[in-house]
Amino acid sequence: MSEVDNARSTGKTWCVLLVFLALAAIGFTAALALWPDLISLGSARIVGQVSIAPPEAVTAGGQWRLVSQWQGAGELQEAENLYLVEFKAIPGWEAPAPVVLKNGDARGRVEGVYIPARYAEQTILTLAGSSTLANRLVPELADRYLKHLGADEVRIVPGALADDFSVQGIFYSTKEIRSVEVQGRGTPSGFMALKDGKCDVAMAVHRLSPVDARSIGDDAITAESEHRLGMDAVAVVVHRDNPVKALTLEQVGGIFSGEITDWAQVGGPSAKINVFALRDTFGTRGFFESIFLGHKTFAPGAHDVEVHSLLPELVSQDLWGIGFCSITMAGRCREMPLKVRADSEAVLPTPEAIRTLAYPASRSVYLYVRADSENIYARDFIRLSLSDAGQDIVGKFGFVNLGEISGAPAAETHVSGSQQGAVPSIFRPGAPSVLKAPALTGPLPPLVQIDGEVVTEGTRKAVLQEYLDGIYGAEHLPFVFRFQSSSLDPDQKALQDVDRVAALMKNPANASKAVILVGFSDSVGDYESNLAVARKRAEAVAGKLQAKGVRNVIVLAAGEEGAVEPNESRLGRERNRRVEIWLK
Q: Strand 106-113 to strand 46-53: parallel, antiparallel, or no bridges (unpaired)?
A: parallel
CA distances for 314 relative to 98, 226, 383, angstroms: 49, 34, 37
Give yes or no for a contact between 140 and 188, defined as CB atoms under 8 angstroms apart: no
pLDDT at 28: 54
419 band by pLDDT with thresholds 50, 70 and 90: very low
Q: Please tell me which residue, 439 or 243, carries the higher pLDDT value.
A: 243
Cβ density class 122-134: b for 16+ within 10 Å, e for less: eebbbbbbbbbbb
- pLDDT-based confidence at 523, cuts 50/70/90? confident
**Choice among 43-47, 307-311, 328-332, 349-353 with the minimum mean pLDDT:** 43-47
Residue 80 has pLDDT above 90, yes or no: no
Residue 292 falls inside a structural domain: yes
Residue 465: enclosing H or E segment and its boundaries? helix 457-471
Contact 62, 93 (CB under 8 A): yes
Statement to judge: residues 184 and 249 lie in one domain: no
Which pLDDT belongs to residue 259? 96
User: Cα separations (Å) of 452 from 444, 448, 449, 527, 531?
Assistant: 18, 8, 5, 11, 17
Residues 430, 346 share a domain:
no
pLDDT(432) > 70: no
Nearest Cα neighbor of 163 from 144, 143, 145, 190 is 190
For range 326-330, the mean pLDDT: 94
* Number of domains observed in the structure of the chain: 5
pLDDT band at 24 (very low <50, low <70, confident <90, very high): low
pLDDT bucket at 85, cuts 50 / 70 / 90: confident
183 DSSP β-pair partners: 128, 164
Q: Does 389 score more than 70 pLDDT?
A: yes
- pLDDT confidence of 437, banded at 50, 70, 90? low
> Would the pLDDT of 245 be above 50?
yes
**29 backbone dihedrals φ, ψ, rounded to 5°:** -65, -45
Whether 88 and 17 map to the same domain: the answer is no
Last residue of a domain, one of 64, 83, 116: 116
168 found inside a domain: yes
The candidate with the shortest Cα–Cα distance to 252, out of 284, 298, 286, 201, is 298
340 and 445 in a single domain? The answer is no
- Residue 104: the pLDDT is 58
Give yes or no: residues 152 and 97 share one domain.
no
Looking at the structure, tell me whether residues 470 and 481 fall in a common domain: yes
Q: Are strands 106-113 and 115-116 parallel, antiparallel or unpaired?
A: unpaired
Confidence of residue 25 (pLDDT cuts 50, 70, 90): low
Residues 190 and 170 grouped into a single domain: yes
- Tell whether 450 is covered by a domain: yes
The pLDDT of residue 70 = 58
pLDDT for position 417: 29
Q: Determine the average pLDDT of the residues in 88-113.
A: 79
Contact 231/357 with Cβ under 8 angstroms? Answer: no
Domain at 553, CATH number: 3.30.1330.60
Determine, yes or no, domain membership for 395: no
474 falls within a domain: yes
Range(s) of the domain holding residue 208: 120-230+364-390
More confident residue, 80 or 272: 272
State residue 349's pLDDT score: 94
427 and 557 share one domain:
yes
160-171 pLDDT per residue, tens? 887 899 999 999
Domain co-membership, 543 together with 448: yes
> How far apart are alpha carbons 444 and 449 in whole angstroms?
14
Decide if pLDDT at 414 tops 70: no
- Give the pLDDT band (50/70/90) at residue 316: very high
CATH number at residue 201: 3.40.190.10
Question: How confident is residue 32, by pLDDT bands cut at 50, 70 and 90?
Answer: very low
Lowest pLDDT segment from 62-71, 257-266, 366-375: 62-71
- Report the distance separating Cα 122 and Cα 120, nearest Å: 7
On whether both 460 and 564 belong to a single domain, the answer is yes
pLDDT-based confidence at residue 37 (cuts at 50, 70, 90): very low
Task: Give pLDDT, residue 412.
Answer: 28
The predicted pLDDT at position 336 comes to 97
Tell whether 40 is covered by a domain: no
pLDDT at 413: 28
Name residue 330's amino acid.
A
Is residue 97 situated within a structural domain?
A: yes
Confidence of residue 436 (pLDDT cuts 50, 70, 90): low
Q: What confidence score (pLDDT) does residue 497 get?
A: 83
Read off the pLDDT band of 38 (50, 70, 90): very low
C-alpha 208/C-alpha 484 separation (Å) is: 10
pTM score, two decimals?
Answer: 0.57
* Percent of the chain at pLDDT exceeding 90: 43
Whether residue 411 is contained in a domain is answered as no
Indicate if 137 and 261 belong to the same structural domain: no
pLDDT score for 4? 46
pLDDT greater than 60 at residue 6: no
Q: For residue 371, is pLDDT > 80?
A: yes
Residue pLDDT, tens place only, 181-239? 999 999 999 999 999 999 999 999 988 876 677 778 777 888 788 899 999 999 999 99
Whether omega before 158 lies within 30 degrees of 0, making that bond cis, reads no
567 and 425, same structural domain?
yes
Does pLDDT of 326 surpass 50?
yes
Residues in the chain: 584
Per-residue pLDDT band for 41 (boundaries 50, 70, 90) equals very low
Q: Check residues 12 and 435 and name the one with the higher pLDDT.
A: 12
Residue of higher predicted confidence among 584 and 62: 62
